[in-house]
Structure 1
Amino acid sequence: MTAPRHVAGVDEAGRGPLAGAVFAAAVILDRKNPIDGLEDSKKLSPARRAELELIIKARALSWSVARADVEEIDRMNILAASLLAMKRAVQGLDIAPSLALIDGNQLPDLNCPAKAVVGGDALHGEISAASILAKQARDRDMIELADLFPQYGFERHKGYPTKAHLHALQMYGVTEQHRRSFSPVRNLLAARDETC
């Protein structure tokens, strides 16, 4: 049995934060032009991630980054929004994959064969590459949000529920970029409603 011709790795970034979109990437690597050092994006330094992002975009046969916005996350839930972002990323490839390897245990609705791989970003270079592109795109988006909302410190915590972020929410309230379906934001809004 021959190996699939074009394998796409797919991963997301930003399921856990209280603010911002969730991003996903899909990458088809060129087996004739391998990339050294591909790794789960969370294990790489920011400088190494930035370096690998440029290499992946230059050497991959095809790559795509997509997102699901805060409104979609709140409307459908974070898992469904993550799968939607993954679907959009695969649809954005300019080469149709013969197989998609999806990081995790859930599959998006795709028009190609797909396999869920738990811990896939440590097992498959294609998924590692997708992990890096998704993380880089999301981090850039959060830095842009930090320019719009400087008091929240998005450039530092990237929207995750750190002590500093929770303190800023208490001090300054909820922006339109906060996920209202996530309990810390939802609870804060409910408490403010009760005091009005």
Structure 2
Amino acid sequence: MLAIIITIMVLELRAPEGHDLSDLVHTTGVGLLTYLLSFVYVGLYWANHHHTFHLVRRVSGGVLWANLALLFCLSLVPFTTAWVSESRFEQTPVVIYGVNLLGAAVAYVVLQWVIIRQEGPESPLHQAVGIDLKGKISLGFDVAGILSALTIDRSGHVGVWIAMACFVAIVIMWVVPDRRIDRVFRQYETAD
């Protein structure tokens, strides 16, 4: 499903009418930037989701519903990305984009919580995630971005650019590989 989401996003990009680099920048420049940001976001969820489910022993109905909530939020990313791009970073589309990213982050935290609750405090996922400082910081950046776009320089774009910087900071933070799940997975793999 996440590969389809990424494919839908790239289909939103328009080809330039001319053949120069300036034509690309003028026609597709903003779209390429927002696509790149959203591509990395979805890609990070894809990788973390894959690693998370390597540590899950049993998938219950609760896990399926929590996973479906995450997929719902991620399925909206092509829409919100296109809106931000087409509006050229207007306030409302950026706020909705931030709400979409926050929704996905909350859904992912809920998914982890449901898995940990189902498998107990000694579960491999709980050992890997721990207090999840990175996850909490990400949620904070999402909220800060949304609030910045809503409250700072409402008639201009300062708050919007601060919001986008918050969203980029999250990507930068998560692009650095998170070894927690890999480390726990290797421990359980060698124990079997």
Shorter-chain TM range is under 0.3
Q: Looking at both structures, which has the greater relative contact order when contacts are Cα pairs under 8 Å and sequence separation is at least 6?
A: 1
Higher strand share: 1
Query: Normalising by the residue count of structure 2, what TM-score does the alignment of the two structures yield?
Result: 0.27
TM-score for both structures, normalised by structure 1: 0.27
* Bigger fraction of residues in helix: 2
